[in-house]
């Protein structure tokens, strides 16, 4: 398991810390109307190659939170979501939400409309992605004839999710839930892809998480949870820069990854040591990239 270098989560009045990931801190609300529910806080932390940097990207947590909330509104007719309130403690205002505690389904629900990343690597080896055969001759950035559902199993923090087949997921969570996850994932992807394309942005691929909730009458529903369609969970490209056969820059921490792999960083990744500290210029360029994604997609000024 990789060393992540995650700093301790800050104490928040009226909440008990439960867990921290690369970006988010999760708390249980202990006081007030929503006691027993969850407080999900998006930090300004940034990671690359399984390392969380000491430097932060100013406003990143707020951008992720605002963008998720905007997308939840666009998707409201397709799937219920877990957000209960944005009335959060002052210390995390603007970058946190109170959300419903769910039974989370152990599946990363990935939709791919374009071939790149781990999907491309699997295709190059097998001609398929998650058991779905694809036509020969596809290259990095190829647009697929139709979007595909390529699930993955959730890995422990610091490890990598593993792509699996639909049959595997069906056996893991049951045929009905697997079918619902595939249907919801592709429906949400198609809606978001259309909206993004209208803003001159390509949604190449994305991943969702879903949980199950029961109401007071015992009715069961699958609920869209966690973050949704942010640059941290989705691969966005500028349509003007898309050129199949070459790696297209994405609206996320791609600035950092490219710098780390350049001679300017002076980092030997293969040696296994931690990466160098991020220069101020790289931090500022990364922040600008996240803001551009937010403004292009929503049409709002940040």
pLDDT at 50: 84
In the predicted model, is pLDDT for residue 156 greater than 90? Answer: no
In the predicted model, is pLDDT for residue 231 greater than 70? Answer: yes
Parent domain of 56: 15-99
Where does a domain end: 45, 80, 99?
99
Tens-digit pLDDT profile for residues 199-217: 999 999 999 999 999 887 8
Domain identity same for 69 and 137: no
Where does a domain end: 82, 99, 116?
99
What strands, in cross-sheet order, belong to the sheet with 38-42? 15-20, 24-29, 38-42, 96-99, 83-85
Domain identity same for 77 and 113: no
Which CATH number fits the domain that encloses residue 218? 3.30.470.20
**Residue 218 pLDDT grade (very low, low, confident, very high; cuts 50, 70, 90):** confident
More confident position, 280 or 270: 280
Which CATH number fits the domain that encloses residue 50? 3.30.200.20
Q: Considering the domain boundaries, does residue 188 fall inside one?
A: yes
pLDDT at 1: 40
Domain identity same for 232 and 120: yes
Report the pLDDT averaged over residues 68-72: 98
Where does a domain end: 51, 81, 99?
99
Report the pLDDT averaged over residues 286-292: 97
Tally of structural domains, the chain: 2
Q: Considering the domain boundaries, does residue 37 fall inside one?
A: yes
Domain identity same for 68 and 95: yes
DSSP 59: T
Q: Considering the domain boundaries, does residue 165 fall inside one?
A: yes
pLDDT at 157: 57
Helix (H, G, I), strand (E, B) or coil at 2: coil
In the predicted model, is pLDDT for residue 158 greater than 90? Answer: no
């Amino acid at each position: 398991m990789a060393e992540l270098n995650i700093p301790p989560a800050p104490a928040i009045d009226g909440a008990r810390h439960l867990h921290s990931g690369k970006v988010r801190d999760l708390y249980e609300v202990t006081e007030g109307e929503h006691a027993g529910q969850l407080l999900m806080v998006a930090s300004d932390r940034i990671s690359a190659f399984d390392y969380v940097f000491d430097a932060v990207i100013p406003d990143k947590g707020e951008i992720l939170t605002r963008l998720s909330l905007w997308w939840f509104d666009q998707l409201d007719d397709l799937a219920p979501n877990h957000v209960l309130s944005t009335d959060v403690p002052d210390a995390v205002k603007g970058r946190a939400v109170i959300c419903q505690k769910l039974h989370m389904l152990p599946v990363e629900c990935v939709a791919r409309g374009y071939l790149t990343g781990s999907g491309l690597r699997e295709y190059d080896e097998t001609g398929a992605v998650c058991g779905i055969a694809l036509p020969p001759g596809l290259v990095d950035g190829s647009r697929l004839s139709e979007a595909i559902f390529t699930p993955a199993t959730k890995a422990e923090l610091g490890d990598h999710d593993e792509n699996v087949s639909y049959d595997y997921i069906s056996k893991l969570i049951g045929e009905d839930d697997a079918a619902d996850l595939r249907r919801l994932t592709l429906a949400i992807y198609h809606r978001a892809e259309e909206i993004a394309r209208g803003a001159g942005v390509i949604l190449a691929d994305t991943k969702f998480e879903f949980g199950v909730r029961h109401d007071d009458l015992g009715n069961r529903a699958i609920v869209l949870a966690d973050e949704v369609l942010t640059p941290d969970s989705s691969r966005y490209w500028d349509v003007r820069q898309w050129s199949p056969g070459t790696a297209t820059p994405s609206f996320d921490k791609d600035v950092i990854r490219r710098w780390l792999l350049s001679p300017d960083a002076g980092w030997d990744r293969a040696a296994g040591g931690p990466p160098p500290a991020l220069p101020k210029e790289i931090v500022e360029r990364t922040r600008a990239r996240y803001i551009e994604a937010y403004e292009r997609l929503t049409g709002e000024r940040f």
